[in-house]
Amino acid sequence: MKEIIEKVNILKEKLNKWGHAYYVLDNPVVDDAEYDKALNELINFEKKYPELLTQDSPTQKVGGVVMDKFEKYKHKLPMLSLSNAFNKDDLINFDDQILKEIENKKYNFFVEPKIDGLSISLIYKNGILFKGVTRGDGFYGEDVTSNVKTIKSIPLSISDKNDYVEIRGEVFLSKKEFEKINKQRQNNDEELFANPRNAAAGTLRQLDSSIAASRNLDAFLYYFMDREKFHTHSDSLNYLEEMNFKINNLGKICNSIEEVYSHIEYIQSQRENLEYEIDGVVIKINDFDLYEKVGYTAKSPKWAIAFKFPAEVKETTLKNIFASVGRTGRITYNASLEPVQIAGTTVQAATLHNADFIIQRDIRIGGKVKIKKAGDIIPEVIAPIQNEEYIKLKKWTEDIICPECNSNLERVDGEVDQYCINSQCPRKIVRGLEHFVSRDAMNIEGLSIKIIEKLFESKFINNVADIFKLKKFQKELIQLDKMGEKSVNNLLESIEKSKQNSLEKLFFGLGIRHVGKKTAKTLAINFKSIDEISKLGFDQLDQINDIGPIVAKSVCDWFEIEQNLNLIKDLKELNVNMIYLGNEGTKNNDKITMKSFVITGTLSKPRNYFKDLLEEFGAKVIDTVSKKTDFLLAGKEAGSKLEKAEKLGIKILSEDDFLEMIGE
């Protein structure tokens, strides 16, 4: 047995060394056949002697774990977003703000590319990878450890054996892998990913880790969270590199904003040559010891900023203009284009927004147009190129009938958009179903738009209530193209589970016009059941904070339609919950529940942290101080909101008062 253990350890050591050379250093030392031979040999040893399988074995990168769902994980320190700079003046202002805080202190910056991917936090315990967690909302992320383990450039074990080591970075897909995945999806008649970032995010959230393993995710690590160990960001990156993490080689120390801007220009000039997508540059103070002194805003650190690259603009020919129908019946116009490369992807279609947008810019079919990617994500036509050929082209006129059901299109007074008002328009129904099952609504996993279309065409579902009747068609569903027994069982289980959702998820999912996620929660917290909400008149709704006359009218109108009342009745009979259950972990606290709070000033943690705490107790967090406000939570430099609260006699809480109130 001693001989076997020795062989296994030698194989692990070789595979780790070869993997690091290939995936991190981009300098292979053996060919694929030799690597695969050694990996298969190790797999066979571990099958024969399971006691020799360790968490940091190279075989754990193959994937194969299938999860029911991803668990939430609370970040030890919030993963904050960065404020943005768009030009040199913004950078000078960023530097000026730092100088105000640290006066005459000498400092420099570290400048590195902003990878266009998905933020990740890696936690190691005693040198072994313990958790891989997404950013989520900055406070709570998803535990995607099983998928993170499949990323070949992330080590499963490190030389730092402390009981807690946290490292943050960015998971991404290379341009080459992105093209490969989309080609496979096209061959399988699956919806294409819009860009590498979407593909990386979708891959990291796969419940089956073997899918993540097959897509070859990669990762750059850029932030060592233990600021006590090192004094500078650049030193911490050197340490990460020593521990075999992949570090971006375009990072550089800059001693002034002039140097910073010069390096930004250099990185931008290299953008098209890189194997991965970037959408800007991150600039941060290099000296860790200055971070607390420079401080934070409610949403982002003041010691770092993201310089966003301007959107790339290209010219191409507009082949056609076509309309599509959304879940509310709103008509969106889109352009069919001659394929053109922009921001790393091939673009063949772009949005034209609404009819007024096209008419005002005089965009014509057959003409040359300029296109860009808004935020480097959504392709958008921005203007026609007016030349002699363009003048000869026929002016475009808006559609007057729905492209899906041939009903007349209508405009609402005061709005630019056209609408199909036919409640039986098939595209409206399908889009409404897609919204109902989405993550922010009923969160029914397994009902993609493709599956919904298939079920709708096969007449299994025609409205949201029909989703909860699918169980009786279990055998028929299994026979549907590409569904299969396992997929159907998982889908039915997810549907059944969704019946227990709190009211706000159902109410948002119903797709009432102007009712967003926040409004749905406000109504659920205030009135507790859908029956109570249905009884409300316009005046009652209009008086609620964050509602207003437009939303109030929309909600009242929805409950006056008999078809909608019948839908609620059907959902009740199908045992779909219609009651507000409160947030998970909500505690009863009469001092807070149903009270309204305004948060102002600088607190010890970002404002969203306190907002989330309050909402967990069923409180309402509003932006402006008024007679309806119950409490003002005030930090340092509270300003005008504090003055107004004092004048109105509103109870003012310090951070300590608030924490005492919630029992922390």
- The C-alpha atoms of residue 112 and residue 90 are separated, in whole angstroms, by 17
Q: How confident is the model over 333-371, as pLDDT tens digits?
A: 999 999 988 866 788 898 888 899 999 999 999 999 999
3-state helix, strand, coil in the chain (%, to 5): 40, 20, 40
From residue 576, give the alpha-carbon distance in Å to each of 429, 516, 565: 20, 20, 14
Average pLDDT of span 608-620: 77
Fold of 84-308: D-amino Acid Aminotransferase; Chain A, domain 1 (3.30.470)
Residue 602 is predicted with a pLDDT of 80
- Per-residue confidence band for 481, with pLDDT thresholds at 50, 70 and 90: low
For residue 218, with 0-12 CB atoms within 10 Å meaning exposed, 13-18 middle and 19 or more buried, which class applies? Answer: buried
pLDDT digits (tens, 9 = 90+) for 142-177: 999 999 999 999 999 999 999 999 999 999 999 889
Q: Return the pLDDT at 444.
A: 92
List residues with catalytic annotation: 114
Q: Regarding predicted confidence, which is higher, 527 or 267?
A: 267
Tens-place pLDDT, residues 567-611: 999 999 999 999 998 754 345 567 787 788 899 888 877 777 788
Cα distance between residue 123 and residue 129, in whole Å: 6
Sign (positive/negative) of CA torsion 109, 113, 117, 120? negative
Per-residue pLDDT at 571: 95
Q: Per residue in 44-67, pLDDT tens?
A: 777 777 777 777 777 766 655 656
The yes-or-no verdict on residue 484 having pLDDT over 90 is no
pLDDT bin (cut points 50, 70, 90) of residue 212 is confident
pLDDT of residue 123: 96
**Domain chopping of the chain, boundaries:** 2-61, 84-308, 313-411, 426-498, 503-573, 596-661
Q: Among the CATH numbers 1.10.3720.10, 2.60.120.560, 3.40.718.10, 1.10.150.20, which is that of 426-498? A: 1.10.150.20
pLDDT tens for each residue of 411-446: 877 778 899 988 889 999 999 999 999 988 999 988
CATH number for domain 2-61, candidates 3.40.50.300, 3.40.50.2000, 1.10.287.610, 3.40.50.720: 1.10.287.610
| Same fold for the pair 313-411 and 426-498 | no
Topology of 503-573 in CATH? Answer: DNA polymerase; domain 1 (1.10.150)
Choice between 519 and 569, residue whose per-residue pLDDT is larger: 569
Contact, 609 vs 78, CB < 8 A? yes
Annotated binding site for NAD(+): 32-36, 81-82, 112, 135, 170, 284, 308
pLDDT in tens, 291-332: 988 888 767 889 999 998 887 788 999 999 999 998 888 899
Side chain identity, residue 623: D
- Identify the CATH homologous superfamily for domain 596-661: BRCT domain (3.40.50.10190)
Instruction: Please state, for a pLDDT cut of 70, what percent of the chain lies above it.
Output: 92
Helices in 297-425 by DSSP H: which ranges?
355-361, 388-392
Q: What is the CATH number of domain 313-411?
A: 2.40.50.140
Q: Can you point out the beta strands (E) in 561-626? A: 596-600, 620-622
User: Quick one: pLDDT band at residue 69, thresholds 50, 70, 90?
Assistant: confident
Inform me whether the pLDDT recorded for 248 exceeds 90. Answer: yes
Question: Is 662 in a helix, a strand, or coil?
Answer: coil
pLDDT at residue 45 in the model: 73
Structure tokens, 214 = 């097959």
pLDDT band at 476 (very low <50, low <70, confident <90, very high): confident
- Binding-site members for Zn(2+) are 402, 405, 420, 425
Binding site per annotation, positions? 32-36, 81-82, 112, 135, 170, 284, 308, 402, 405, 420, 425
Mean pLDDT of all residues in 468-489 = 84
